[in-house]
């Protein structure tokens, strides 16, 4: 890998007209991106900006005379489908992670579209890291000289410095200007004159400056990815599709000797704790343990052991000498045993979690934990298959698996699934109580389940005092959630909110066209 030094980059950069135009355009896009944040407040606006982002990237690629291959179009389509999770769920945490993941997908798409790596197929962990971190950060400051580059390609150093000085001056003046305005705001005449001049509150000015600063930061990343990938493709035409990390430093006898005691400890541990682990499958809780303690111990044990075993497998792959052999029986056996022991723990931890859920219902944390357990299990199944099929593109398989699982977590409305499961479990008698407080935290996603619960209590002729109190709490929760749907900002649209407003209208609680 031939990395340019900063001095070499400074001398060799030549900006074309499209670079200057897109440097300015990325600032505009970045500004509107910052206006769309936070994601949970403007999910539709964020989704629109993601479409615009890929459109800008496509145009830049076309003007840079890069042919976008069919696999890149497929990757774009899949990414946009995945981004629909921004409006299909009301979960703030998932929306935030999904937004960051989509940005990473865009950076990788740009990197691969310039021919620096295969977008689908034999992915390389090195190329993924370069696409998301190395290239954007290495070219993070190029948006400024590109704005003022001369048509001939030489950038105007004086104009660039003046622009940077203006930005620094604006940044410095924010605090003292705000302080002076706040000190003078005691005078109503001054406030009246100031408002008549600028026609908006000083808070709007501060928010605007904040959005502009964040927008410039977005532009630095976006343009750094676009221009940096183009420059890298020009200067590194022979970049391979895969960059394997393998040092072959340690004889396999040493590694196997070190790992053998660990495998024996696993065997002894499973034998000694057999009743403890089997109880997860027989649905019998061990003595002196609560369901939460039982499930929590299994999850944290699993996370630690999976991380440790993954490290051991990586050491096998990177350090063990294979003498040029593609297939090594000893290496395969040890790696397979490690994967199998891990899968046993995965199955046990999942059984514990299902036992916990069956007794106390779903929560976000239990869903996330179950998702992580299953994902880890699939990862180690793929690792086990890789031991017998070395030609399997392991990195690509793991990445694709993660994307599929991430889509299964973000596109469906997880909060609605949780609320519906808990309400149905209560109504059919599996659970003796229902936590309306927790349902309320799921916001608009819980409205259908809350109305189902409300209808049940209102139509129950034998309702008792406890159920009447629960009904009052349901009505209070619906009033709280109803306030969350009163925004008239079209960019705040998401499907759970739309469904909630429809239900409020059906029950006569709100006008759908408000």
Is residue 513 predicted with pLDDT exceeding 60?
no
Task: Using DSSP, state whether 120 is helix, strand or coil.
Answer: coil
Residue 195: CB atoms within 10 A of its CB come to 12
Q: pLDDT at position 425, please?
A: 92
Burial 76-95 (b: 16+ CB within 10 A, else e): bebbeebbbbbbbbbbeebb
Q: pLDDT at position 263, please?
A: 82
Tokens of 393: 């593109």
Is residue 486 predicted with pLDDT exceeding 50?
yes
Q: pLDDT at position 46, please?
A: 92
Tokens of 167: 């930005």
pTM, rounded to two decimals: 0.79
Tokens of 122: 């034999």
Alpha carbons 33 and 38: distance in angstroms, whole number = 10
Burial 472-500 (b: 16+ CB within 10 A, else e): ebbeebbeebbeebeeeeebbebbbbebb
> Among 206-220, 323-337, 449-463, whose mean pLDDT is lowest?
323-337
Q: pLDDT at position 84, please?
A: 94
Is residue 98 predicted with pLDDT exceeding 80?
yes
For residue 207, the surrounding DSSP H or E stretch is helix 202-235
Q: pLDDT at position 239, please?
A: 43
Alpha carbons 424 and 442: distance in angstroms, whole number = 16
Q: pLDDT at position 190, please?
A: 54
Based on its alpha-carbon atoms, the radius of gyration of the chain, rounded to whole angstroms, reads 29
Task: Using DSSP, state whether 488 is helix, strand or coil.
Answer: coil
What pLDDT, in 10s, does the model give residues 322-348?
Answer: 555 556 777 788 888 888 888 888 888
Alpha carbons 173 and 258: distance in angstroms, whole number = 61
CA 441 remoteness from chain centre: 21
Handedness of CA 317, 323, 325, 328 (dihedral sign): negative
Q: Which residue has the higher pLDDT, 4 or 204?
A: 204
Q: What's the pLDDT band for 173 if we cut at 50, 70, 90?
A: low
Q: pLDDT at position 416, please?
A: 95
Alpha carbons 199 and 181: distance in angstroms, whole number = 15
Task: Using DSSP, state whether 250 is helix, strand or coil.
Answer: strand
Q: Where are the alpha helices (DSSP H) in 361-489?
A: 364-388, 394-410, 414-427, 436-441, 447-458, 465-483
What does the pLDDT average to over 504-509? 79
Q: Which residue has the higher pLDDT, 311 or 443?
A: 443
Alpha carbons 49 and 29: distance in angstroms, whole number = 8
What share of the chain in percent tops pLDDT 70?
Answer: 72
Q: pLDDT at position 464, please?
A: 85
What does the pLDDT average to over 299-308? 77
Give me the chain's average pLDDT, please.
Answer: 79
Is residue 25 predicted with pLDDT exceeding 70?
yes
Half-sphere exposure of 359 (CA within 13 A, CB side): 15
> Among 128-137, 224-233, 303-312, 319-328, whose mean pLDDT is lowest?
319-328
Burial 285-298 (b: 16+ CB within 10 A, else e): beeeeebeebbbeb
Q: What is the chain's length?
A: 514
> Among 10-19, 39-48, 144-153, 303-312, whose mean pLDDT is lowest?
144-153
Q: pLDDT at position 414, please?
A: 95
Is residue 91 predicted with pLDDT exceeding 70?
yes
At a CB cut-off of 8 Å and minimum separation 6, what does 489 contact? 42
Report the C-alpha dihedral over residues 3, 146, 59, 140, rounded to 10 degrees: 50
Q: Which of 158-172, 183-197, 221-235 has the highest mean pLDDT?
A: 221-235
Alpha carbons 434 and 424: distance in angstroms, whole number = 10
Q: Where are the alpha helices (DSSP H) in 114-201?
A: 125-129, 135-138, 143-147, 157-184, 188-198
Q: pLDDT at position 514, please?
A: 44
Alpha carbons 444 and 491: distance in angstroms, whole number = 16
Q: pLDDT at position 116, please?
A: 67
Residue with token string 């200057």: 20
Tokens of 472: 């009052």
What does the pLDDT average to over 174-195? 59
Q: Is the CB of residue 351 less than 8 Å from the CB of residue 294?
A: no
Q: How far apart are the first and last CA of the chain?
A: 58
Is residue 29 predicted with pLDDT exceeding 70?
yes
Residue with token string 């950069």: 13
Is residue 135 predicted with pLDDT exceeding 50?
yes
Q: What's the pLDDT band for 401 if we cut at 50, 70, 90?
A: very high
Q: pLDDT at position 2, please?
A: 46
Handedness of CA 459, 463, 467, 471 (dihedral sign): positive
Alpha carbons 372 and 402: distance in angstroms, whole number = 10
Is residue 18 predicted with pLDDT exceeding 60?
yes
Residue with token string 């759908």: 512
Is residue 490 predicted with pLDDT exceeding 90?
no
Q: pLDDT at position 296, please?
A: 65
Q: pLDDT at position 512, please?
A: 41
Alpha carbons 473 and 468: distance in angstroms, whole number = 9
Is residue 404 predicted with pLDDT exceeding 60?
yes
Q: Which residue has the higher pLDDT, 167 or 5?
A: 167
155 forms beta bridges with 149
Is residue 441 predicted with pLDDT exceeding 70?
yes
Residue with token string 């499907």: 495
What does the pLDDT average to over 43-51? 92
Is residue 426 predicted with pLDDT exceeding 60?
yes
Burial 421-456 (b: 16+ CB within 10 A, else e): bbbebbeeeebeebebebbbebbbbbbbbbbebbeb
Q: pLDDT at position 273, please?
A: 63
What does the pLDDT average to over 444-453? 93
What pLDDT, in 10s, does the model give residues 374-385?
Answer: 999 999 999 999
């Amino acid at each position: 890998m031939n990395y340019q030094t900063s001095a070499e980059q400074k001398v060799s950069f030549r900006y074309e007209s499209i670079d200057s135009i897109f440097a300015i355009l990325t600032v505009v896009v970045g500004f509107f991106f910052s206006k769309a944040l936070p994601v949970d407040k403007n999910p539709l606006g964020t989704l629109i900006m993601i479409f615009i982002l890929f459109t800008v990237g496509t145009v830049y690629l076309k003007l840079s005379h890069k042919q976008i291959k069919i696999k890149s179009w497929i990757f774009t389509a899949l990414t946009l489908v995945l981004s629909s999770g921004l409006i299909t769920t009301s979960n703030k945490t998932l929306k935030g992670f999904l937004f960051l993941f989509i940005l990473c997908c865009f950076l990788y798409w740009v990197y691969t579209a310039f021919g620096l790596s295969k977008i689908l197929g034999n992915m390389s962990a090195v190329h993924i890291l370069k696409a998301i971190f190395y290239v954007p950060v290495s070219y993070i400051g190029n948006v400024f000289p590109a704005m003022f580059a001369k048509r001939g390609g030489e950038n105007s150093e004086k104009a660039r410095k003046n622009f940077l000085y203006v930005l620094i001056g604006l940044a410095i003046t924010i605090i003292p200007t705000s302080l002076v305005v706040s000190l003078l705001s005691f005078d109503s005449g001054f406030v009246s004159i100031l408002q008549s001049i600028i026609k908006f509150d000083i808070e709007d000015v501060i928010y605007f400056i904040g959005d502009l600063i964040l927008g410039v930061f977005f532009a630095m990343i976006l343009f750094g990815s676009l221009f940096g990938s183009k420059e890298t493709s020009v200067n590194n035409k022979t970049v391979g599709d895969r960059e394997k990390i393998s040092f072959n430093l340690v004889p396999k006898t040493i590694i196997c000797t070190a790992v053998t005691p660990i495998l024996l400890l696993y065997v002894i541990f499973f034998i000694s704790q057999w009743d403890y682990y089997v109880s997860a499958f027989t649905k019998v809780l061990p003595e002196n343990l609560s369901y939460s303690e039982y499930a929590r111990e299994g999850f944290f044990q699993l996370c630690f052991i999976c991380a440790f075993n993954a490290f051991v497998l990586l050491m096998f792959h990177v350090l063990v000498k294979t003498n040029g052999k593609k297939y090594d029986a000893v290496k395969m056996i040890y790696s397979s045993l490690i994967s199998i022991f891990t899968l046993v723990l995965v199955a046990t931890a999942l059984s514990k979690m299902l036992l916990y859920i069956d007794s106390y219902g779903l929560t976000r944390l239990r869903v996330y934990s179950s998702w992580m357990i299953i994902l880890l299990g699939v990862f180690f199944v793929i690792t086990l298959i890789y031991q017998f099929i070395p030609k399997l593109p392991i990195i690509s398989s793991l990445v694709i698996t993660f994307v599929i699982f991430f889509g299964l977590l973000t596109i469906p409305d997880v909060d609605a699934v949780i609320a519906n499961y808990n309400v149905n479990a209560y109504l059919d008698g599996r659970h003796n109580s229902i936590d309306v407080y927790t349902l309320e935290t799921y916001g608009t996603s819980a409205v259908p389940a809350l109305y189902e619960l409300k209808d049940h209590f209102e139509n129950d002729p034998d309702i008792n005092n406890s159920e009447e109190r629960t009904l009052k709490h349901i009505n209070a929760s619906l009033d709280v959630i109803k306030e969350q749907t009163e925004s008239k900002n079209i960019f705040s649209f998401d499907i759970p909110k739309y469904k909630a407003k429809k239900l409020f209208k059906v029950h006569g609680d709100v006008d759908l066209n408000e």
